Amino acid sequence: MNKTNWAGNVSFTPAATETIESEKQVEAVIHRAVREKLPLRVIGSGHSFYPLVATPGISMSLSGLQGVVAIDPGRLEGWVWGGTPIRALGTQLHDLGYAMENLGDIDVQSIAGAVSTGTHGTGIDLGSLSTQVVGMELWNGLGQKVEIHEKKNADLLDAARVSLGALGVITKIQLKLKPKYILEMRQTKESLGSLMSNFRRELQDERNFEFFWFPHTETALVKRSHISQESPLSPSLGQKFNDIVLENMALGALSGICRWIPPITPKVSQFCAAAAGESHRRDWSHRVFATERWVKFLEMEYAVPIESFPEVVQEIQTEIKKSHHRVHFPIECRFVKRDSIWLSPAYGRDSALIAVHMYQGMPHRAYFDAMEKIFRKYEGRPHWGKLHSLGAGELRSIYPKWEEFQRLRKEMDPHSVFLTPDLRQIFGENQETMLSTRSA
């Protein structure tokens, strides 16, 4: 059966599909994949733009392994099944009195899929979701269970917390938690110039700070959130109108017009900037982070060192003006604390994450290529789940722990059962070597 990802830019037909309901089944499927030489990929919610989940072999879903397994209230930690969607996780943790420290801007990914690509939210004192992982249970390419914990094998944890499914199948994840909390979020419209002059102070002052800059304008929509001791406010009618009608239905209709009459695109961006509404929310954290995304698009996102952020934004502005790129989706700027995870885009450096989007069906190549050139000039590292054009040579030069990760990957997966053609391109493995090592 043919499968596609959320954006529809990746489709594949696996030889077999397995829905997992027990750990025994994971072990059996890995043995089968090795025996039959079928590349095995776990699919979470299929929300990656990069073809990480595509396989001609076995497509495995952990949708039968969901929910909270156990909470340790003293340590503020909890074990959860890898297949749990983030929305369900937020609700279950909330019912038990807990929450995650930070989340991205949607909540439909599986927790293991989100962690495996370094999915992040925003806040310079907060790391990506992967940094909230303190332990995991992973089944390697020999079908053996490996128990990983920060106190027991910290290096292995730093490799496994962002591993693109290449070290094994993650069945359980142990997360750092917080007692449940209320977030107050204000969304305002401001000029890009004043945001850029003050962004360092904003990063210090705000728990969560991000902005969406509308290309072909000087306007940005800013979101600032902090923890509140006050009670939740039920969303106003205006808020619901903004979230559903403006951010989805109107954007969808305007995007359709841009695809039909491309020269109008800059005007549509200017219209969106003028129409974008200010808003205020106060609710339990897991409900404030998440937004609805009905309009389909393609996305590229790079992490650049925070020190380079002003120059990168300046170069993007110049490039859009010079080349008249036909884009109306805002450019999203977020901030993440440095970490020690080997393949994390924020490895060793506080980072600004800059994301560019293109409405589905509109040409994206020239725009993304131009943006990627700028990101790479500033030693940017791509988000693993989003589009990029880097191969092993370039990736090796921007990840100091690249070789260690490759050594470990070969130990954990000696038959290369977790490698597909797309993964081989990332890791620089050639087909012949892989087939000849598959001797089991």
Ligand X SMILES: Cc1cc2nc3c(=O)[nH]c(=O)nc-3n(C[C@H](O)[C@H](O)[C@H](O)COP(=O)(O)OP(=O)(O)OC[C@H]3O[C@@H](n4cnc5c(N)ncnc54)[C@H](O)[C@@H]3O)c2cc1C
CB neighbour list of residue 157: distance below 8 Å, 6 or more residues apart: 133, 134, 135, 136, 148, 149, 150
> In terms of CB distance, is 163 or 242 closer to ligand X?
163
Judged by CB under 6 A, does residue 84 bind ligand X? no
Listed ranges 162-170, 182-190, 199-207, 266-274: which one lies at the site for ligand X (CB under 6 A)? 162-170
Contact residue for ligand X among 23, 27, 105, 379 (CB under 6 A): 105
Buried b or exposed e, range 234-252, using 16+ CB within 10 angstroms: ebeeebebbbeeebeebbe
Judged by CB under 6 A, does residue 255 bind ligand X? no
> In terms of CB distance, is 88 or 266 closer to ligand X?
88
> In terms of CB distance, is 176 or 267 closer to ligand X?
176
Distance between CA atoms of residues 310 and 378, nearest Å: 11
Judged by CB under 6 A, does residue 161 bind ligand X? no
Distance between CA atoms of residues 112 and 78, nearest Å: 14
40 to 79: interface string for ligand X, x by CB under 6 A: -xxxxxxxx---xx--------x-----------------
Bridge partners (DSSP) of residue 182 are: 228, 284
Judged by CB under 6 A, does residue 106 bind ligand X? yes
| CA-to-CA separations, 65 to 48, 55, 390, in angstroms, rounded | 20, 21, 33
Distance between CA atoms of residues 300 and 84, nearest Å: 25
> CB 284 → ligand X: shortest distance, Å?
18
Judged by CB under 6 A, does residue 104 bind ligand X? yes
> CB 418 → ligand X: shortest distance, Å?
8
Listed ranges 111-119, 219-227, 402-410, 427-435: which one lies at the site for ligand X (CB under 6 A)? 111-119
Judged by CB under 6 A, does residue 120 bind ligand X? yes
| CA-to-CA separations, 389 to 48, 302, 382, in angstroms, rounded | 15, 12, 9
CA 341 to chain centre: 15
Judged by CB under 6 A, does residue 293 bind ligand X? yes
Taking Cα atoms as reference points, which of 166, 164, 171 lies closest to residue 61?
171
> In terms of CB distance, is 266 or 385 closer to ligand X?
385
How many residues at the interface with ligand X, by CB under 6 A?
32
Bridge-based pairing state of the strands 169-176 and 133-139? antiparallel
End-to-end CA distance of the chain: 28
Contact residue for ligand X among 82, 215, 345, 382 (CB under 6 A): 82
> CB 48 → ligand X: shortest distance, Å?
3
Judged by CB under 6 A, does residue 131 bind ligand X? no
Judged by CB under 6 A, does residue 349 bind ligand X? no
CB 142 within 8 A of CB 49: no
Listed ranges 25-33, 38-46, 70-78, 237-245: which one lies at the site for ligand X (CB under 6 A)? 38-46
Burial class (CB in 10 A: 0-12, 13-18, 19+), 92: middle
> CB 368 → ligand X: shortest distance, Å?
15
Judged by CB under 6 A, does residue 112 bind ligand X? yes
Angle in degrees, CA 303, 51, 46, rounded to 5: 90
Site residues (CB under 6 A) for ligand X, limited to 170-189: 170
Which residues in this chain contact ligand X in the complex, by CB under 6 A? 6, 41-48, 52-53, 62, 82, 104-106, 109-110, 112-114, 116-117, 119-120, 164-165, 169-170, 293, 383, 385
